[in-house]
Amino acid sequence: MSVYYNNLVYLLDRKDLSVAQFENVILIPKNKILEPTPVELVKIANYLDISIDLLITRPLKNLNKVLSTDIKMIILDVDGTMTDGGMYFTENGDQMKKYNTKDGMAIKNLVKTGFQFGIISHGYKIKVVEDRAKLLGIQNLYVGKEDKLTILNQWLTELNLTLEQVAFVGDDINDIKIMEAVGLSACPKDAVKSVKAIADIILEKDGGKACVREFIDEYITK
């Protein structure tokens, strides 16, 4: 079965509809529902209130969790998530990082609404990350070797939020503990296998290639 068909059946089941019943609702013949033209696909996606990209390319086994989770805060890893994982050094030994402007735009727009963001990184150059956080208006920042979940729990106490209200996007083994604890977890397409195995959502974009923008647009502000 195709990803599209499995997703279609899953979404219709949530509406207590079979494919045969859906035929009468949307006024498209069953054979066209199963193999729609672009115009018919737009109509089907609009009825199901989902993007065409999600409908035809990504298994929605975790959609129920995504839709039912009341996310109030997003925590981001840096290297391999907000960046491509590469590290750049000047002749003086100063570290530089390459960030994605599309990620930045999505973060800034959500911050303006009062949404909480945080960065937790096991890197060692706090100034590099601090400058990015300040530019984006990110309210919570930690760079160091302390346990990520411990840092997050401290923030949640101050903000009166719960782990269930937190989404985390990370890519490597040091993110697994916190990903398993929060309400919703996601990882870039090029995350390590052990992270992909436990992530609720595997994004289509690689780290540093607007994967954060994808997560925000497709799963938080959709």
Tokens of 153: 């729990």
Indicate whether 6 pLDDT > 60. yes
Single-letter amino acid code for the residue at 166: V
Mean pLDDT, the chain, rounded, equals 90
- Rounded alpha-carbon distances, angstroms, from residue 157 to 79, 88, 152, 163, 166: 26, 36, 9, 10, 13
**Which whole number is the average pLDDT over 13-39?**
89
Q: How many CA atoms lie within 13 A of 156 on its CB side?
A: 21
Q: How many CA atoms lie within 13 A of 201 on its CB side?
A: 30
Are residues 83 and 45 located together in one domain of the fold?
no
Question: Which of 87 and 19 is assigned the larger pLDDT?
Answer: 19
Supply the range of the domain harboring residue 25.
3-61
Strand arrangement, sheet containing 184-187? 140-143, 116-121, 73-76, 166-169, 184-187, 201-202
Count how many domains the chain has.
Answer: 2
Length of the chain: 222
Tokens of 124: 């060692």
Domain final residue, candidates 61, 79, 104:
61
Are residues 23 and 108 located together in one domain of the fold?
no
Indicate whether 123 pLDDT > 80. no
The position carrying tokens 């963001």 is 117
Are residues 106 and 206 located together in one domain of the fold?
yes
Looking at residue 65, what is its pLDDT?
66
Give the Cα separation of 175 and 77 in Å (integer).
8
Are residues 45 and 126 located together in one domain of the fold?
no
- For residue 26, the domain's CATH number is 1.10.260
Give the Cα separation of 176 and 195 in Å (integer).
6
Specify the DSSP class assigned to residue 127. Answer: H
Question: Which of 92 and 156 is assigned the larger pLDDT?
Answer: 156
Task: Count the Cβ atoms, other than its own, within 10 Å of residue 65.
Answer: 13
**Which whole number is the average pLDDT over 115-128?**
88
